[in-house]
Amino acid sequence: MIELDGGSSTRSNRTQFIKRMVEFSRHSNLKIRLIYYPPDHSKYNTIERCWAILEKYGHGAILDSIETAIAWSKNMTWKGVKPIVKLVEKTYEKGIIPSQEELELSKEYWYPSPELSSWDVTIMPSV
């Protein structure tokens, strides 16, 4: 299960996101359930609580370089656990839109919940 905030890059109606999640599910052979938080409900979102702890931990620290930010983040502890922190330098292309054919193939693996189709989606690794 992956919890998502429903932001514009991960919405369940984003074609590139659908395609990438289906590819990941099929590659890893994992059933993936995407659960979206409704707008303005960040207090329930685990990552938002983590950011709040991170901000509190910082006490106004000046993060003036990538190295400083990474070192600082690695020392944070949340519920007794230190995070795994690594720098991702890959630049992802913007504006990629899958063809209608690719999208139709992806949708075969994409199952929105009948009750909450925008907030609960399951991706199956095989049809």
Taking only the tens place, the pLDDT of each residue in 8-38 is 666 666 778 888 899 999 999 999 999 887 7
Check residue 42 and give its pLDDT. 65
8 alpha-carbon distance from chain centroid: 11
Check residue 2 and give its pLDDT. 86
Check residue 9 and give its pLDDT. 63
Check residue 84 and give its pLDDT. 86
Check residue 55 and give its pLDDT. 74
Residues lower than pLDDT 50 in the chain: none
Check residue 12 and give its pLDDT. 62
CA 22 – CA 103 distance, rounded (Å): 10
Check residue 62 and give its pLDDT. 81
DSSP state of 78: B
Instruction: Give the angle subtended at the CA of 33 by the CAs of 4 and 80, to the nearest 5°.
Output: 60
Check residue 124 and give its pLDDT. 95
Check residue 10 and give its pLDDT. 65
Distance (Å) of CA 60 to CA 18, 28, 56, 57, 69: 38, 40, 8, 9, 12
Check residue 29 and give its pLDDT. 97
Check residue 56 and give its pLDDT. 73
CA 52 – CA 125 distance, rounded (Å): 35
Ranges of each domain in the chain: 2-123
CA 77 – CA 75 distance, rounded (Å): 7
Reduced to 3 states (helix: H, G, I; strand: E, B; else coil), residue 33 is strand
DSSP state of 44: G
Question: What six digits make up the tokens of 22?
Answer: 């289906």
